[in-house]
Structures are given as C-alpha cells and as structure tokens.
Structure 1
Amino acid sequence: MSTENNPRLSKTLGALLGVHAGDSLGATLEFMSYAKIKSKYPTGLREIIGGGMFNWTAGHATDDTDLTRAVLLAYRDRSASSSASFDLATSAAEWSLKWLNGDWPGRKKGIGPVDIGGATRTGLMQFEKSRNARKCGAGQGSAGNGSLMRCIPTALFTRSKEERIKESMEISAFTHNDARCTVACAVYNEIVAALVEGKAPGEAIEVGLGVAGGLDCPAVEDCIKRGKGWSISKFATNGPGGELPEWSSGYVLQSFSIAIAALLDNRSFEDVLVDVIRLGGDTDTNGAIAGGLLGARDGIEAIPERWLRVLQFRDEFEELARGLLHAQAVSA
C-alpha cells in the first residue's frame, strides 16, 4: 500500500512518525533552558543526534514514543482478536507495564526505563497490583502531559467519534485520570482525526473545541484558544517570555497550547518542529505532541528523510499502521 494517492495512509504514517521524530529530536535538549539552547544552537537543532541528559542513541525512543508504541500494540492486538469483549485500555496498560518492567525492545531484559513521569509510574504500579485499568491513575490534581504524548493511535485506528472519545479517555486514565488530561487526549485525537480526514487546521481545531465544550472542560477550551493566539516563531526568536508562563514544565495544557500554535503555523514540518523544541524545557514531549499534529496535517512526505531513517521504530510503526488500515478496509 503506497502513500501515493493515498492521503489517509500518508497522514496516518505522518502522525505516528511525527510523534517519534519530535520525541527523538527533542531528546537531545530535554530540560535545557531556552537561553542555553539559543546559546548552543542559535537557529535551533536541526539534526537528530541523540545525547542529552540520558545519553540517547540518535533516533532512540524516549518514554513518549515507547508508550505510543504500547498503545499502538494494543490496537494491533484488538484487530487480531476474535473476542467481542477485548479490553483496549487494559491491553494498553499491560503493554505499558511491560515497558516499565523491562520487557521491551532496545533495552536489556529486566532493566526499566531511565525516563518516566511520576504520574505514569504511579498509575502503572497501581495497575500492576489491581490489574484494573479503571481503578488506577495518579488522581485529580496530577495533570502532566504523559498521556497526551501517547494517545495518537486512537485517532488513527478508531473510526467512530464516540468510540474515539471513550477510548482516548480510558487510555489516558490508567495513569492520568485528571479531567484536564483525559479530555485533552479526547480533544487532541478528534483534531488528529479531522486532519486525517482532510480538514484544514483551523477547521480541525474547531472540531476539537466542540468536543471540549461537549465534555464540559473549560480548562481545555481555554488552552486551545490560548494556543490559537501564540506564535511559535516569535517565541523561538525572542523567548517565551510572559506569554508562556512556566514554559519549562510538563503541564498537559501548556504542551497542548504549544501544539495548537504549531499546527496553525503554516511553515514546513521541519521549521515548526525545530522552533517548538527551541523553547526548551520538556522538549521531547512538546516535540512529540506537536509532531503528531504536524504529521497528520502534512503527511509522512513532509518529515525529512534524514530524520525518518534514524528512528528506532520507523519500520515497525509503518508495518503496524499499514496492517491496521488494511484490516479496517477489509472489515468496512
């Protein structure tokens, strides 16, 4: 199945590998300040080179891509299952627990991840005890971006809006069950689904705003509206300043606002993503979340080939995506 004359496939691959590319590009600069990045890379980092705080191999997945893979594998397993009672959230949680416990490719068996957010660890440890994906999570008040970074497979491989919203929220909730996180995931995925269906960025964002309103989450609505007024190029050139308070945090709605601003920036995939990462702080996760939207907007052809060829899970993600789309077409 070629991407030529197949925009759905192109955008699906672009979304998945956009997450991976943003994650791997941003991993080098994670936890660095805007000022330090500007001093070292005055026009931004344009190559996936690895290194960073955790001394990554170039193109290696951090927790962002690894946990996206966990969700993607749950969708693969559902597609292959003949059981009408297959529990997608539990499957995603089980794969995420394998990642936590060191049963993961690219890592020595039994060795856990070097990078993991607090809410993710809390939720998965609770899940390990209960094996109930609906009775774990870090609780209200814990609103990090650790579920938003992994949620995109739902947008790509669930056709019904109602099912997408349900699955998005349930997959978020086994680690991040604060409403800001669960609703952000549902809204993000409706934006991605709209982009894959061919809607323009502005139209897709209006779809997302409608979902946020329907789920009665003003905080998510406000974060989208805030992102619509931001300029990524301005922030990258002049610094985040007062318009982007606490810009270095991993707060889910900050990351989402940045991604919305990125989506509305009509420059190339590369130029926008480089500037997102120039902002500093949680660079890998901001890159992953924005990269997913940009990839769904522009398709895989827009991601530089020199980036694609070093990504750890490129081949696997492409194979899984093609297989899932083929299964959907057959069953339609």
Structure 2
Amino acid sequence: MSSLNDLRTSRTLGALLGVHSGDTLGATFEFQPWSHIIREYPNGLREIVGGGSFDWPVGQATDDTDLTRAVLLAYRDYEEMKCTGSIQPVEEFNIAKAAAEYSLKWNEGDWPGRKKGTRPIDIGNATRIGLQQFKRSKDPAKAGAGIGSAGNGSLMRCIPTALFAPADRRQKESIAISEFTHNDPRCTVACAAYNEIVVALIDEKTPKEAVEIGKTVANQLGCGKVTDAIKEGETLPLAKIASEGIRGDIPFTPSGYVLNSLKLSIAALLDPRSFEDVLVDVVRIGGDSDTNGAIAGGLLGARDGIEGIPERWLEKLQFRDEFEDVARRILQLQNNERKVLLGSPERV
C-alpha cells in the first residue's frame, strides 16, 4: 500500500470481504460437530465449495453476509443523501431504521440471488422476531427479541458501523443497529466493543492493543460479561481446539451464543498465522461455523487487509464486486466531505 488512504481502503475492504469469506467458507460445516468434520477434512477445508445443511451454491451469501449488506447499504444511502443535500439536518436520517428496512426487504424476498417474494432459507429466531416487531412498529427501538435472547445475529452484521460511522456516533449506532433484533446488553455491548476493535486495527493498532480497547469499551458500557468473554478469548487455544477438539478443561462451545462467537473471534485475531490458516481452523471447529467464520473473518480482514484474503476465495463471493464498489463510494464521499470542510471540494 502506498499511502494511508490506500491502507485504510485495503483494511476496510478486508473487513467486509473477511465477513463474506468466513460466512461462505463456514456454511459448508454449519451445525456439524468437530468429530464429523475432522474425519472428512483432517487438515480443514481450504476451498469455498458450498453445500452444507442448506445446500448453498458455491460463494452464496448466507444470512450473515446478507444482513451485513443491509447495514452497508444503509450507510451508503446516508452518505449519498448528505452528498445531494437531501437531508437537512443530517440527524433526521435514522441509520438503524434504514438498516432494519433493508433487513426487512431481505426477510420478505426483495433481495439479489433469490426469487422475488421468497423467504430466506436460514434465519435466526431473534432476527425473525425482531423483524416482525419492526414491521409492525416501524421503530427500530421498539423491536428486538427482548432481554434474555443473546444469539450472535447482530454481531455478525455490525462491521459496517466500524468502517463508516463517525467516531462520535459509532458506539451509539453499533448499539442501535443491534437493538432492532438483539437488544440484550450482551449483544449490544459486544457489537460496540467489536467495532471499536475493528477501528483500532484499521488505525494500525496491533491486535493486542485493539483487544485492550475492546475491553475498555465493554467496561465503560457496563457489561462485565462482554469484558470477560474478550479476556477468555485472549487465552482460547484455537489451533489446539481445531486439531484436537474441545476438551473438558476448555470452557467453550462453538454455539450461536454471542459471547462464544466473540471469544472465538478474539482468539482468531490474536493468532499470528495467515488469514487463511486461522479462518480454516475457526470453521472446522463446527457448530455455528458460518457465523463464527463471519465474525472472526471481519477482524482478520481488518488486520490483514484485502490482500490477506486468498484471491481464489474472493473471486467466488456473491457480493464481492458490490461490496468493493459500495465501500469505495462511501470512502470517496467521506473523503470529499473532509476536503470540503478544509476548503478544497471535489466533484462527486
């Protein structure tokens, strides 16, 4: 990378396509136990092949990437509206509502790659309940599955906020975008802490420094369970679990519980191996492998940049071109806005 802007672009694209890569690689193993996977793939699966419980086409996004796309498009719309001057003041644009509206379109069959009107073949319970609530109320703050429902369905989609929200709104928007489906504090604070880790990585902090920032944010937001999950992730032996399975002395299961997914993503981030090697191990643990892969993939992509993701994976991803185009457009608009503030506007 030749400049700071190039590095930021690389890590932004890496984060988005890291989610997509982990999701799509992991979809093959969703709901399968480690013992089954290790027999068929003793060294892990190193190619995106589709299949799995829902017979996914090669490279197809599952709900993890689809709902990340919903949040990404909300940020695109916001930046486009600012550019055209169609929102005055800008505070009138509710980013959580925009993300929820796109998520509702996804749920009701207005989505690329699906026959119009058909429902998604995979959707988490909290997401389903939250979107039903939102459809009735049209208020993202009045949706959500309720306290006690702490799945990973908002953590898997939260990364666009880290990439595109301004610093003074980032934590608030992380929480609000989680809340329209997952409003338990374990979920909302996990999203906020995760996104601050992503920002730190893009700002060239080391993985260890980024994780410390995540713990600080979780503490500041008053959710000790999220702080504890990050700490447990720091010592989780990812490579050992992937090769030997989960032993009784390891307090972890690869389930859809948000704090288990957060732990695993922290372990992945702190693993110094390549993006490919780490993500292969994340998904071959099994369980909720697509979502765990997506969440870990986002951190790894922010760490390593798009160049760290194997090209043979990238070329198979359903939304690769769109994600790149939308992310570059948002970054361009934001950069132009900064130049306008400094007195050097560009045409957009």
Place the TM-score, normalised by the shorter chain, in its bin: over 0.9
- The offset of 1:252, in angstroms, is 0.1
- Inter-CA distance 244–129: structure 2 relative to 1 (3 Å threshold): farther
Aligned-residue CA RMSD (Å): 0.9
Provide the rounded CA distance (Å) in 1 between the counterparts of 2:285 and 2:308.
Answer: 22
**Runs ≥4 residues deviating over 6 A:** none
Gaps of 5+ in 2: 339-348
Kept after mapping to 2: 8 A contact 1:192/1:293: yes
Residue in 2 that maps onto 1:109? 116
Aligned pairs (5 A) from 1:13-28: 13-28=13-28
Residue in 2 that maps onto 1:88? 95
Kept after mapping to 2: 8 A contact 1:31/1:248: no
Provide the rounded CA distance (Å) in 2 between the counterparts of 1:265 and 1:315.
Answer: 29
Match of 1:222 among 220, 228, 236: 228
Kept after mapping to 2: 8 A contact 1:269/1:303: yes
Aligned pairs (5 A) from 1:1-332: 4-5=2-3, 6-81=6-81, 82-83=86-87, 84=90, 85-160=92-167, 162-245=168-251, 247-332=253-338
- The offset of 1:241, in angstroms, is 1.9
Q: Any idea what SS the aligned residue of 1:220 has? A: helix
Provide the rounded CA distance (Å) in 2 between the counterparts of 1:209 and 1:245.
Answer: 19
- The offset of 1:240, in angstroms, is 1.8
- The offset of 1:94, in angstroms, is 0.2
Provide the rounded CA distance (Å) in 2 between the counterparts of 1:117 and 1:96.
Answer: 13
Provide the rounded CA distance (Å) in 1 between the counterparts of 2:99 and 2:317.
Answer: 22
- Inter-CA distance 270–243: structure 2 relative to 1 (3 Å threshold): farther
Gaps of 5+ in 1: none
Provide the rounded CA distance (Å) in 1 between the counterparts of 2:29 and 2:45.
Answer: 9
Kept after mapping to 1: 8 A contact 2:174/2:188: yes
Identity across matched positions, percent: 64
CA deviation digits over 1:208-228, x for unaligned, max 9?
111001001000000000000
Provide the rounded CA distance (Å) in 1 between the counterparts of 2:325 and 2:235.
Answer: 38
In the superposition, the TM-score normalised over structure 2's length comes to 0.93
CA deviation digits over 1:110-151, x for unaligned, max 9?
001000000000000000011011001000000000000000
- The offset of 1:248, in angstroms, is 3.8
Provide the rounded CA distance (Å) in 2 between the counterparts of 1:128 and 1:80.
Answer: 25
Kept after mapping to 2: 8 A contact 1:28/1:50: yes
Provide the rounded CA distance (Å) in 2 between the counterparts of 1:153 and 1:240.
Answer: 32
Q: Any idea what SS the aligned residue of 2:29 has? A: coil
Kept after mapping to 2: 8 A contact 1:14/1:295: yes
In the superposition, the TM-score normalised over structure 1's length comes to 0.98
CA deviation digits over 1:196-216, x for unaligned, max 9?
011000000111111001001
- The offset of 1:158, in angstroms, is 1.4
